[in-house]
Amino acid sequence: MIEKLGGDAFSLPSAAQLMGERATLNGFLVPGRRSAGGGCRLHDTLDGTVALTLARADDRAMLPALFGDSGIDGDDDRQIAAAFAKRHSEALVAQGRLLGIAIARIGETPVSPACSVTAEGESRTRRSTPIVIDLSALWAGPLAAHLVGLSGARVVKVECHGRPDRMREGDAALFARLNQGKANIALNLRHDADRAALIALISQADLVIEAARPRALRQLGIDADGLVRAVPGLVWMTITGHGAMGDAAQWIGFGDDCSVAGGLSGALRDASGATGFAGDACADPLTGIHAARLALARLRDGRAARMILSMSAIVAQALDSERRRDEKALMADLRYWSLRHGTPFPNAGPRPSGRVAALGQDNQAWLASC
């Protein structure tokens, strides 16, 4: 039990539910070298092992550039595996990140801290029912907004007319659990009027959660740090794969490859000798939980801040915490996990879903005053 924003006590879903919910809903099996969801694979190189996520339509078209070989057929998994086997891991990861491919290697160290505060602003007395603007998509950000909503906030999910959250159609069951109870606004952010309406809405909010790279925000004319300094009490959470400073700001990351970058597959190998994924895209739910905790702390004390989260570093932080708490138990759990390869995920007891708003159904109610 924790304290609601309004003062009452309430129960959040268990960590096991949140970490295993997608796998249970989809009937996933405990993965080996291919992730539970199927979008990421572990490939051996000359000097190590690399995780490659091919989750988007254009990812495979980038593989000839990744390998420096125009003859590579990006749709031929055997050719891809053979190309990895002839090359060095560090160079491949560096090249992949330059190309905008989600890639990581076992044994790397996250380059960013788990959370960086880039701006702070004035404090204000928090209203009893804070307003949360959820600009994120997929898993980590929507989960964070959902958990803050369970604590007593009103959550407004913002999607683009031409590019809605891919999980809406791609995994409707998980989408329903992460986005239940949220109002929904659909905008065309190529239009000046819609961008102005969004900024006006943000200026009335208590918390913003988003997962855009800095360049994308700038192209929309949104200055997150500036808004935090201008709007008293505004908390702005940015979720990234690997941080938002330096080269890492442009690196793409999804849950499975960020889990590898954070050390989970390395820990599994150390414990069991097996090479595989130690869960289902663990970086996503871990980051969603961590983001919600940080946001709730800021909402309670009224301090404005821009916080940038690194999914890979959050995994590394959680892994380090477990090692310090009970390393022997952690190693035993990982060894047991490796023995379950190919069996169904432990049933996480998925939660019921509630009302899910249609795309744009609340535009009039929320944008009329903007």
pLDDT digits (tens, 9 = 90+) for 289-334: 999 999 999 999 899 999 999 999 999 999 999 999 999 999 999 9
Q: How far is residue 51's CA from residue 42's CA, in Å, rounded to a whole number?
A: 4
- What mean pLDDT is predicted for residues 128-153? 96
Average pLDDT over residues 215-229: 90
Q: SS3 for 54?
A: coil
Length reported for the chain: 370
pLDDT over 70 for what percent of the chain? 96
370: tokens are 């903007």
pLDDT tier at 2, thresholds 50, 70, 90 = very low
pTM: 0.95
Q: Give the residues across from 41 on adjacent strands.
A: 34, 52
Q: Give the tens place of pLDDT for each residue, 168-185.
A: 999 999 999 999 999 999
What CATH class has 110-370?
Answer: alpha beta
Mean pLDDT of 212-225: 87
Residue 8 token pair: 């009452």
Give the mean pLDDT of 137-144: 98
Where does the pLDDT of residue 78 fall: very low under 50, low under 70, confident under 90, or very high at 90 and above? very high
User: What is residue 27's DSSP assignment?
Assistant: T
**277 CB neighbour count, 10 Å cutoff:** 29
pLDDT value of position 4: 56
